[in-house]
Structure formats: C-alpha cells, structure tokens
Amino acid sequence: MQLTVWTYEGPPHVGAMRVATAMRGVHYVLHAPQGDTYADLLFTMIERRQARPPVTYTTFQARDLGKDTAELFKRTARDAYERFKPDLVMVGASCTAELIQDDPAGIGQTIGLPVPVVPVEFSAYQHKENHGASETLYRLVRACTKNGAPRGERPPGPKRCNLLGPTALGFRHRDDVTEVTRLLGQLGVAVNVVAPLGASPADLARLPDADFNVVLYPEVAETTARWLTKVYAQPSVNVVPLGVGATREFVKEVAALAGVDPQPVLDAQLSRLPWYTRSVDSTYLTGKRVFVFGDATHAVAAARIATEELGFTVVGLGTYSRERAREVRAAAAKYGVEALISDDHLEVEETIARLHPELVLGTQMERHTAKRLGVPCAVISAPVHVQDFPARYSPQMGFEGANVIFDTWVHPLMMGLEEHLLTMFREDFEFADGVGASHLGGHAPQAPKLAEPELVAPVVAAPVAASPQPAPVAAAAQAPAGATALAPGWTAEAEKELKKIPFFVRGKAKRNTERFAQERGLSSITLETLYDAKAHFRS
Amino acid sequence: MNAPVPSLPTIPSAPLAARPVLRERGQHEVFCGLTGIVWLHRKIQDAFFLVVGSRTCAHLIQSAAGVMIFAEPRFATAILQDQDLAGLTDANDELDRVVGRLLARRPDIKLLFLVGSCPSEVIKLDLSRAALRLSRSNPKVRVLNYSGSGIETTFTQGEDACLASMVPELPTVAAQANDPLMVVGALPDVVEDQFKRLFDALGVPVTFFPPRRSTALPTLAPGTRFLLAQPFLAATAKALEERGAKRLSAPFPFGVEGTRAWLAAATRAFGVSDEHLARVVEPSEQRARTALTQARERLSGKRIFFFPDSQLEVPLARFLSRELNMSLVEVGTPFLHQDHLGPDLAMLPADVTVSEGQDVDRQLERCRAARPDLVVCGLGLANPLEVEGLTTKWSIELVFTPVHGYEQAGDLAELFARPLVRRTRLEV
Ligand code: SF4
Ligand code: SF4
C-alpha cells in the first residue's frame, strides 16, 4: 500500500481515455463502477473539450456482482456501438473491473461487432496513466496496421514524417503540434499523420507511409515508434525540440533524415531567447538556483534550458516517471546533483524545502508547494490544470516555445534592478517583508500565514470559503524563509542586519551564517560573523 | 411582496397519490460516495479519512475536490498495489503500517475513518475488523469504517454511510425533560450557527450531528427527536431509529417555505406555538423574500431539467417551482426516498417527470428534445451541453455552497439565475 494524498498520474485507463478522446471514430467501452465517470470532467472541464469523451462505462453495482457482470459488459458494448457507430471499439477494465475478471478483451472478440475491437489491458495496480496511454497507442497502431502488414510503395514527393505522442489532456500538446508542424514545413518536410491527436483509425493505418517518425512525447509514443522502426524501417527523431539548443539539434536530425538543408532554418534566428538572455537586463538571472521536477522528458529538457540558455544553476532534478528514471539520473549526474525519483509529493516538498531554490520549475503540485514556501515557480509539465490550456497560442516546443519558456520562467522572478533596490533600501517601509516583485501584484510569493486553498482542477467554482467548512487551514507548511525564529546566539546588531537582507534570501543567509558559526565553534553571531560567513560562502 | 409564498404550507397528511416514477438503469454519470470526504474532512476538524482503494479512488477525490491544496488535507488514500492483492494477511499488515505512519504524523487526529472503496469491497478486505484492531492498538484514536465505494454508494450517500457509522458511537443518556432536538446532516458552519440562533430564539434545545469535533458527540436519550437537514441520509436515519430516536417529518429547509415548514416540525414537536415561530422568523423571512425578488423575475416561467446528482433535486425543484415560479421538466435523482421526501414530493406539480437512477444517453435525448431553459447537471455533461446551446448549472456547486435556510435562500436562487443572466450578457 502506498499512502497518497495527491497523485501526479491517474490510473492507466485514464491514459487510455486520453488516447481515445484525442482520436476520431474511436469509442472506448470501459468496465467500471459509476464513480469512475469522474474522468469525463478532466476533459470537459480542465481541457474545456466541447464533447463528452467517447467512453461508455458499464457502471456495475454491488448487486450486479453476484449475477452476470460479463453479460452487462456485452450489452453495454453492443448498445454503445449501436448508438455511436464508431470505426473502432476499444474495450477494457478499470481497476475494480480488473479484479472481477470478466475478461472484456475476450468478450469484445465474441460479440460480433462489424468493426475492429481492440482490447486495452493493463495491470492497474502496478501501472499509471502514461503507461496506459503508451500501451493504448501501441495496441491501436498494431491493430490498425493489421499487425504490421506490408505497406505499399511510399508515395513520391517531399519526405514525410509522423508526429507521434500528442493526446487529449496533454501539457500544451495542442500548440506544440502546430509549432512543430510549422517548423517541419519550414524545412520542407510534410506531416503524414499526427497521432493520436486528431487521427482516425484509418489515419493510423497510414502511419507506415511516412519516411520517419518524430516522437514528441516519448512517455506516450516511444514504444510505438520503436515498433514502427522494427516493422517498417522508419527511423525516429529522438531529440525533443524543447529549448533553443534542442530545437536546433532537432532541425539538424530532421534535415538529415529528410535529406534537406537545415542551414536556412538555423540561420533564420527564429527565437528571441538567445538575444533576450544575452541582454544585460538578464544578468541578474545568472546562477539563480533552480529545482526542476516533472515528467522525465520535460524535466530533463528544463534542466538543460535552465543551465545552457538562462544561466541558472540546477540544484535539484527529479521526476515522477519511474519508468524513465534512468535518463533523469543521467541528466542529474551532468549537473552534479542527485536525481529525485518519486511520486510522493511530500517527499518532493521536503526536498524543495531543504534545497532552498530561488525558482522552482515543476508541475502544478510543485507550484503549490512553492507558493507555500514563498518561492517563485513556473509550471513545465503535466499533470495539467485548467491554466495549462491558455486561450492564447502557447507552445513549449520549437523556437516559439523557447520564447514562451523564457517569458514564463523569468516572469515570476524579481526584475534585476528591483532586486538591487530591495537590497539597498531594506528599511523603506513599503518594502516590507513579503512584498514580491511589483509586476506580480497580489500574486507575489508571500510569506504564508495560512496556506490558502486553491483550485487546481477547475471543478468547484464555489470559493472554498463557501464549502461546508471554511475553516482556517492550519499551516503545517514549512515556515518561510525569514519567518523562522532566530536561534539563540545572534547579537541584536547582527539580527538587525539580517533583517535588512531581502526576505527571499534571508533564510539562506541565516542558515549559512549559523552553520558557519557552528563549524567554527562560535558561541554568538555578531555583525562580523555575518559578513565573514557571507564572504565565505561567496568564495 | 406580492408573490404567493404561503406562510405555512399545507403538507398533505393523506398517503401520497402514487406519483409515477421513471426508473432508469443504464450508465450512471455520477460520483461515488468517496466524494463526500471533500466536505466531511473540513466539517469534523479532528477526523481523518483514509480511503483504502486504488489510484482511481485517489484521482477521483483529487479531481472532484478541485484539488484544494491545503497545507495537508485530512484525507489520504492507501493505494492497493499488486503485492497487496496477492494475500489478505499482507493487506492487513500493510494497513497497520500505513495507519501507524499516519497517526505518528498527525497526533491531533482523534477519529480515523477507514473508507472502503470498490477494490477493497471486491477483494473483501474486512475494514470493520481492521477498525476494531486498530482501535485497540491506538487507544487515543477512535477508528471507524464505512464504504464510499461506487458499487454501493452514489455521491452524497458517502456522507450517509459516514454518519451511519458514527451512530453507534453516540453516547446514551437517560430520558430527560428537555432532551434536545438533533439536527442531522453536515451543514456549513455558518448555516449551522444561523440555525442554532433560530432554535435558541424559539426555545428549542438543539444539537448538531455530525459535530465539529469528534470528541463532542451529541447524546441520544430514549425517544430523542431528530430532524434531517439533508435529504440523502436514509441509512443514518435508520440507524438512529434503531436506537430509539424519532424522525420528525418535514420538507427540507430550502427557501422560505421549506425552512419555515422544517422549523415548524421542530417547534410543534417541542410545544412551541406557531405564533411564536412566526414572530421569531419574521425578520429572516422578510429578508429572504426580498432577496428572492430579483431572481424570481429572471427565473419565473423558465423551464428546468435536473440530471441526477446529490439527491437534493426534489426539494430544490420544490423550491424553484413554488417560490420562483419555475416550470419543472424532469427531476432526476439517483434515489427517491419516498418516505423522507414525502412532504417535498407532495408539493411538486402533478405533471413533472420524476426519474430515479439513470441511463445517461437516454436522459440526454430527453433533455435535448425538451430544450429546457436551464439544465442542472454534473461537470462531465455541462460544457458539452453548453456547446449544444443549452444553459447549464453545475450541480456539484449546490453541495459545496451554503444553500440551506433563510439567509441563503437568495444565494440559492442566484445560483440558478446566474447562468441565464450570463447568457443574456454575452455578445460574442
Ligand atoms: S467508483 Fe469505486 S473505484 Fe471508482 S473511485 Fe469510487 S470507490 Fe474508487
Ligand atoms: S495566486 Fe494567482 S499567480 Fe499565484 S498561483 Fe494562484 S493563480 Fe497562480
């Protein structure tokens, strides 16, 4: 048993739903109890999809259990086919139905539907959402290509590729597809099929027509791409174009596979990031300590962008995708930090509190942790939140994606000059503790008195104050930097000086000074000690 | 005030004319009982809810709750894993370990609920034995269990199961002269306080169940009278009756009329005169009527369709039809407790379709065909229906917002009026 409050990933059948919902002409018949229909709202509310997910649930009840739940599944599948007339039916079980062993896969084969019936089965007590999405795409592609039936001649004309991995409810998938398609167009490479987002079963059958595959989200599409390589000799582009450097590598790899010249695109200076980050205004970003956490692909990419393109220092790197721990460990080793592989958000919170970063690049979970700790944060990865589906065009990938990333990550930080002013005029009463960057208004990181509840999923519009118990929430949260009581040993003078240090670095200064004093066996901390320690830790 | 709000409804005492009920059995699009944890864990401030379930259960609570990230919410899921399914002894050991860790971290917890889920029910993990065992090994904590599983409970039935599990814990006292009235059902604190003030002014001694702290459980004496504040408490009422308590039958306290009749059930049982009641509630009723005026202008004559959700549908429909003059197309509810809902049902117009259970696709067809002005439905259906040009009100908000009593009558009406107002404003 694993004790969990919030989960980074849903169960595997939610991954299957992300694939089914992304596609056209597919219907998913899911053996599941009524409560599992909650998953619909992820799509209709968080992503604001305009139609219900193409999923029919059997919603079996306790009283059905003694009787014939298999019969219920049969009936539900037939009715769903009749009502929705899909081109393909997926059948499967959620965690509870897995235990009652009605064998939806077997039943699916025997009910004689006139369309392909594809079983998607996972072990729900072992796997999670991304695995479910990955397995589902793989099963569907195998089924739609008739298990790798030989393909005809590739049509003549410019080289073509498939874009693999974007799903419903994906972190910026909608805009990434647009951006990468445009980039490929600039190279003269056409997109054969985007899958699963927007694809029909017939489109999946056309996947083998492409010359190569682009894997946008390895978590979802790597297994499928490998299989396509094996069966159809389609090579894959393995660089994910997140950040300017990776996008340039991506351009080169694509160009090599397509036999085109990458130089015009590389020379075109399509991103503002390289100049913005060189602009003197960005000097203050140098060496900012960042903690990075997300799915493996986004976390590894973010660490690279942070280091190479923004000049930050990565102080921690981790992922909740255990399946991809290896690549995260390898990346962490590059930055000289230990990888945190965990899907326990409390462990992640502890790590952040311990490392005291100046910026957190994480998921919605870390955004809330960071808010409690008073650290700025930008979101880089799923799990998604209604805010991750902005109305405006906002890709993460390609050159425009790099622009978006620059803005999103720099925005929560203090502006350079403002930071200096805060340091110089500590005693200006309007610079009171807890005042954040002025451009962030009320949303500045604040010293949290109460951990204010906040809606991540969109669901309940009612402000929390309206919930049956609008109780003040005891802030078991970590005391913010600067709010901690002084340990004995500080002279009044030193303590006063400490207060002049901006609140967002004060905790660090305090700890460093105390450690410095302790290591030297000093009994009290004077003004001298404070500045000695400062000099010590600078060098 | 010219609207016809009768000051005291005539509640038919004759047995109900059998109202035809459309019973549906198909896909249900409703949450399971685990969802109740979202409000119960805020209501009982020293209680912790530990779901023994799957990743789906954890994900459901997180999604339904809108993931209110609190410093540390007083609920969690012990997610069953492959190893736990291998043998039951393991699962029990694992549960002990998880609970030990939990209680060590939260010494403030006085009441722990082990909450069963579909997976724990299906593998027949005996949580009542586990609760006994854990109570013995953790003497400072009372450990109870109930099932919030989707195979047994629908949405608000989770609260019912939770409260029913607490009934055996209520201390018994000897019969006393002024044995208080027990108001049953989790209410927002602000509403509870309003009712408390009203009952005080009426001279009716009152206790509330569930209490805000598990250490302050209300007592039961032989013949204690109780009044349900929520329409979904069938099992709790039954458990109380089995302990000798007596339920006062009344419409539920929504709107002016419902609140008055609900209070009247108490005052009459406690020998308080109707005149005194009328005097005490006069200012509140006056305020509530004023608050309803504007909404009535907007809602009067509008046609409304309820998808089943919280079991609040029947009393809300009664309020909307009688006090706001809305016209009811279909009132869907997951369960129709004829007895508890009798007074409310009797006040519904004769021509409304009352449906129980659900076959969501067929109900959607009925709804589309009827083209109501307002559809009350769950979050999975709302946006898709808006796309089809229908105006919707998320039903879950009715459960997460203070809506009972006089002071909330205006807010309750406003919840229904707002989506319609919004439609008329937008020009894009
Ligand atoms: S319906 Fe059952 S399996 Fe699904 S979330 Fe509810 S309790 Fe868990
Ligand atoms: S307060 Fe505003 S900016 Fe801050 S986390 Fe919440 S939504 Fe984002």
Task: Name the band, by pLDDT with cuts 50, 70 and 90, for residue B234.
Answer: very high
Which residue from A minimizes the CA distance to B152? A62
> What is the complex's ipTM, to 2 decimals?
0.92
CA distance B300 to B38: 34
The pLDDT of residue A94 is above 50: yes
Q: How many CA atoms lie within 13 A of A41 on its CB side?
A: 27
Pocket test for ligand 1, best of B31, B50, B118 (most atoms within 8 A of CB): B118
Q: Residue B77: helix, strand or coil by DSSP? A: strand
The pLDDT of residue A462 is above 60: no
CA distance A26 to A90: 7
**pLDDT for the residue numbered A531:** 84
**pLDDT for the residue numbered A154:** 81
A343-382: pLDDT as tens digits = 998 899 999 999 999 999 999 999 989 988 889 999 999 9
Contact at CB, A51 and B384, closer than 8 angstroms: yes
Binning chain B into helix, strand and coil, the percentages to the nearest 5 are 45, 15, 40
**pLDDT for the residue numbered A425:** 57
**Chain A partners of B82 at a C-beta cutoff of 8 Å?**
123, 125-126
**pLDDT for the residue numbered A482:** 38
Q: Which of A196-200, A526-530, B77-81, B406-410 has the lowest mean pLDDT?
A: A526-530
**pLDDT for the residue numbered A278:** 96
Min Cα separation B357/chain A (Å): 11
Mean pLDDT, rounded, for A173-189: 97
Mean pLDDT, rounded, for B360-378: 97
Mean pLDDT, rounded, for B31-53: 94
Residue in the structure block whose two tokens are 């682009």: A214
Q: What are the tokens at A294?
A: 């997300």
CA distance A341 to B72: 22
**pLDDT for the residue numbered A268:** 92
Which residue from B minimizes the CA distance to A449? B71
Q: Across chain A, what does the average pLDDT equal?
A: 87
B330-349: pLDDT as tens digits = 999 999 999 999 999 999 99
* CB-CB contact of A127 with A102 (8 Å): no
Q: In what helix (H) or strand (E) does residue B415 lie, and over which residues does it extend?
A: helix B409-425
CA distance A286 to A496: 28
CA distance A536 to A76: 71
CA distance B73 to B51: 13
Min Cα separation B427/chain A (Å): 18
* CB-CB contact of B277 with B397 (8 Å): no
* CB-CB contact of B134 with B205 (8 Å): no
Sheet holding A377-379, edge to edge: A339-341, A313-319, A289-294, A359-362, A377-379
* Cα angle B42, B44, B47; round to 5: 100
The protein residue with its alpha carbon nearest to ligand 1, atom 8, reads B57
The pLDDT of residue B213 is above 90: yes
CA distance B313 to B316: 5
Binning chain A into helix, strand and coil, the percentages to the nearest 5 are 50, 10, 40
Q: Which of B137, B153, B169 is the last residue of a domain?
A: B153
Contact at CB, A1 and B85, closer than 8 angstroms: no
The pLDDT of residue B390 is above 80: yes
* CB-CB contact of A205 with A232 (8 Å): no
Which residue from B minimizes the CA distance to A83? B361
User: Which residues touch B138 (CB under 8 Å, ≥6 apart)?
Assistant: B99, B103, B112
Q: Which of B100, B132, B153 is the last residue of a domain?
A: B153
CA distance A448 to A468: 23
A115-163: pLDDT as tens digits = 999 999 998 898 999 999 999 999 999 999 999 999 888 878 889 999 9
The verdict on pTM exceeding 0.80 is yes
By residue count, chain B amounts to: 428
User: Which residues touch A536 (CB under 8 Å, ≥6 apart)?
Assistant: A516
- For chain B, what is the total number of helices (H) and then of strands (E)? 17, 14
Q: Give the nearest partner residue to A3 out of B57, B66, B102, using CB atoms.
A: B102
Q: What are the tokens at A429?
A: 């009463």
**pLDDT for the residue numbered A523:** 86
What backbone phi and psi angles, to 5 degrees, belong to B359?
A: -130, 95
Interface A-B, measured as beta-carbon pairs within 8 A, has a size of 256
DSSP characters over A490-507: B-HHHHHHHHHS-HHHHH
Residue in the structure block whose two tokens are 């790798």: A148
* CB-CB contact of A64 with A6 (8 Å): no
Rounded to whole angstroms, what are the CA distances from B343 to A489, B272, B338? 71, 21, 9
B408-420: pLDDT as tens digits = 999 999 999 999 9
Pocket test for ligand 2, best of A373, A443, A446, A452 (most atoms within 8 A of CB): A443
CA distance A59 to A97: 10
CA distance A329 to A343: 15
**pLDDT for the residue numbered B65:** 73
Q: Across chain B, what does the average pLDDT equal?
A: 92
DSSP characters over A121-180: ---TTT--HHHHHHHHHHHHHHHHTTTTPPP-PPPSSS-EEEEE---TT-TTHHHHHHHH
The pLDDT of residue A204 is above 90: yes
A372-422: pLDDT as tens digits = 888 999 999 999 988 899 999 999 999 999 999 999 999 988 665 566 555
Residue B170 in any domain: the answer is: no
For residue A104, whether the previous peptide bond is cis, meaning omega lies within 30 degrees of 0, is no
A443 in contact with ligand 2, CB cutoff 6 A: yes
The pLDDT of residue A256 is above 80: yes
Q: Which of A93-102, A434-443, B354-363 has the lowest mean pLDDT?
A: A434-443
Residue B84 in any domain: the answer is: yes
Q: Which atom of ligand 2 is nearest to the CA of A440?
A: 3
- Which of A304, A315, A317 lies closest to A247 in space, CA to CA? A304
Q: Which of A57-66, A294-303, B338-347 has the lowest mean pLDDT?
A: A57-66
Q: Which amino acid is at A482?
A: G
B36 in contact with ligand 1, CB cutoff 6 A: no
A27 in contact with ligand 2, CB cutoff 6 A: no
Q: Whole domain around residue B329: which residue ranges?
A: 21-28+292-427
Contact at CB, A56 and B154, closer than 8 angstroms: no
Q: Which of B86, B120, B153 is the last residue of a domain?
A: B153
**pLDDT for the residue numbered A418:** 61
Q: What percent of chain A has pLDDT over 70?
A: 85
A187-196: pLDDT as tens digits = 999 999 999 9
Min Cα separation A309/chain B (Å): 32
Residue B50 in any domain: the answer is: yes
Q: What percent of chain B has pLDDT over 90?
A: 84
Mean pLDDT, rounded, for B189-195: 96
Contact at CB, A468 and B186, closer than 8 angstroms: yes
Q: Which of A223-237, A402-416, A429-443, B214-228 has the lowest mean pLDDT?
A: A429-443
Q: Which ligand is nearest to the CA of B115?
A: 1
Q: Can you say whether the dihedral through the CA atoms of B215, B217, B221, B222 is positive or negative?
A: negative
**pLDDT for the residue numbered A506:** 78
Residue B340 in any domain: the answer is: yes
User: Which residues touch A432 (CB under 8 Å, ≥6 apart)?
Assistant: none
Q: What percent of chain A has pLDDT over 90?
A: 67
The protein residue with its alpha carbon nearest to ligand 1, atom 3, reads B118
Residue B343 in any domain: the answer is: yes
Alpha carbon B306 to chain centroid, angstroms: 16
CATH of the domain at B75: 3.40.50.1980
CA distance B426 to B314: 31
**pLDDT for the residue numbered A485:** 45
Q: Give the nearest partner residue to B69 out of A33, A40, A456, using CB atoms.
A: A456
DSSP characters over A52-76: --SEEE----HHHHTS-HHHHHHHH
CA distance B78 to A405: 37
**pLDDT for the residue numbered A477:** 35
Q: How far is the CA of A239 from the centre of ligand 1 (A)?
A: 39
The pLDDT of residue A213 is above 60: yes
Residue B77 in any domain: the answer is: yes
Q: Which atom of ligand 2 is nearest to the CA of A371?
A: 5
Q: What are the tokens at B333?
A: 């509810």
Number of domains in chain B: 2
The pLDDT of residue B17 is above 90: no
CA distance B120 to B143: 17
Task: Name the band, by pLDDT with cuts 50, 70 and 90, for residue B19.
Answer: confident
Q: Which residues of A participate in catalysis according to the annotation? A: 281
A312-351: pLDDT as tens digits = 999 999 999 999 999 999 999 999 999 999 999 889 999 9
Rounded to whole angstroms, what are the CA distances from A214 to A193, A251, A265? 10, 11, 18
Contact at CB, A473 and B82, closer than 8 angstroms: no
The protein residue with its alpha carbon nearest to ligand 2, atom 2, reads A443
Residue B364 in any domain: the answer is: yes
Q: Residue A423: helix, strand or coil by DSSP? A: helix
B117-165: pLDDT as tens digits = 999 999 999 999 999 999 999 999 999 999 999 999 999 999 999 999 9
Burial of A186 per CB tally in 10 Å (0-12, 13-18, 19+)? middle
A326 in contact with ligand 2, CB cutoff 6 A: no
Which residue from B minimizes the CA distance to A479? B71
Strand residue runs (E) in B204-269: 206-209, 225-228, 246-247
Residue B136 in any domain: the answer is: yes
